Amino acid sequence: MSNDFETMDSWTREEVAEFKEAARLKDAAPQDAVTAFRLAAVPKKDPGLIIAEGDSWFDYLPGTDLIDCLTHHSLYGYEIDNHAKAGDTLENMIYGTEIDRQFHRAAPEIDSILARIARYQPKVFLFSGGGNDIAGDEFESFLNHAHSGLPALREDFAHQVIDVVFRKYFEDLIFRVKARSPHTHIVTHGYGHPIPTGKGVDLLAFNFAGPWLRPALVRKGILDESRQKRIVFGLIDAYNEMLKSLDLANDNFHHVDLRPLLDPDTDWVNELHLRNSAYRRAAAAIHAKIQSLL
């Protein structure tokens, strides 16, 4: 491999798996994994243990993800205790929504994460969430049918969900983290601008997940591609603006705006996930934010 990160997009599944394994093992990685990826290690101040919670941008099986890039020994080499789970939602991550077969409430994962934050007092807590609360089955609730004569986007509903409900979720997360570790910084992001192409995640010739955007738009009779893009981009922009306002209001909460870094036309491998090189570029922005806090 070379230092041209665009070559990451041509990796085979085996090369992606090797990169992810090397990231998991870090300095304990076998020598062949170290030499296979000749990536220039980035000088950094060491924040110590970082704790992370999130969705598939921190836990993406078919390709690299942000955590892979941040932990890989030949890139940033951060030590990250990662609790992310692909497909997870804000509500579940922050409060817990899972139940067992007898309909008893399961112990929320956030309780164990907060306990670890209290124990280790990390300088940084990485968080990735919100995409699964808007995309997929939930996306239709943001839309009016084109034949109704109403605006395509239910703007009042979108405002209620993003600026009231999601904001309250994050405010509670900020409060709970600060109560257990006053000097821990929460670093999050608001994704980028995906195009509703109808592409999902394919594994071994089968559709594994998605698509999450285009089906809802088509079901609602919203067929013009430029109109589809405006709706999706507008929701992403509203979400980022909400996170940005929380950043301004809280000294321990930091929003990394990835929108300027990610090209809607070239950086997405499907409707919700990035190409390997784009995750690498996004990881660089998160690395810069982490370093600015140390």
Decide if 131 contacts 55 (C-beta within 8 A): yes
CATH code for the part of the protein at 5-292 = 3.40.50.1110
Cβ burial of 27 (10 Å; 0-12, 13-18, 19+) is exposed
Decide if 175 contacts 252 (C-beta within 8 A): no
Asked whether the whole model's pTM tops 0.85, one would answer: yes
**Look-up: residue for tokens 């008893």?**
104
Q: Report the pLDDT value the prediction gives residue 8, as an integer from 0 to 100.
A: 85
Task: Lowest mean pLDDT of 10-19, 33-42, 108-117, name the range.
Answer: 33-42
Once rounded to an integer, what is the mean pLDDT over residues 56-60? 96
Contacts of 103 (CB under 8 A, 6+ apart): none
- Is the confidence at residue 33, as pLDDT, over 50? no
Structure-block tokens of residue 103? 């309909």
Task: Report d(CA 230, CA 158) in Å as an integer.
Answer: 14
Q: Report the pLDDT value the prediction gives residue 207, as an integer from 0 to 100.
A: 54
* Structure confidence by residue, pLDDT tens digits, 277-288: 999 999 999 999
Upstream peptide bond of 215 is cis (omega within 30 degrees of 0): no
Structure-block tokens of residue 227? 């109109």
Q: Where are the domains of the chain?
A: 5-292
Q: State the Cα torsion 271-186-243-65 to the nearest 10°.
A: -10
Cβ burial of 283 (10 Å; 0-12, 13-18, 19+) is buried
According to DSSP, residue 93 is labeled H
Structure-block tokens of residue 127? 């968080």
Decide if 69 contacts 31 (C-beta within 8 A): no
Q: Report the pLDDT value the prediction gives residue 35, as an integer from 0 to 100.
A: 44
| Three state DSSP letters for 122-160 | CCEEEEECCHHHHCHHHHHHHECCHHHCCCCECHHHHHH
Task: Report d(CA 230, CA 178) in Å as an integer.
Answer: 37
Mean pLDDT for the chain? 90
Contacts of 289 (CB under 8 A, 6+ apart): 187, 254, 256
Task: Report d(CA 191, CA 187) in Å as an integer.
Answer: 13
Decide if 71 contacts 23 (C-beta within 8 A): yes
Sign of CA dihedral 141, 147, 148, 150: positive
Strand partners, 209: 201
pLDDT-based confidence at 205, cuts 50/70/90? low
Once rounded to an integer, what is the mean pLDDT over residues 80-93? 96
Backbone angles phi, psi at 181, to 5 degrees: -150, 90
* Structure confidence by residue, pLDDT tens digits, 228-273: 999 999 999 999 999 999 999 999 999 999 999 999 999 999 999 9
- Is the confidence at residue 7, as pLDDT, over 90? no
Task: Report d(CA 9, CA 263) in Å as an integer.
Answer: 15
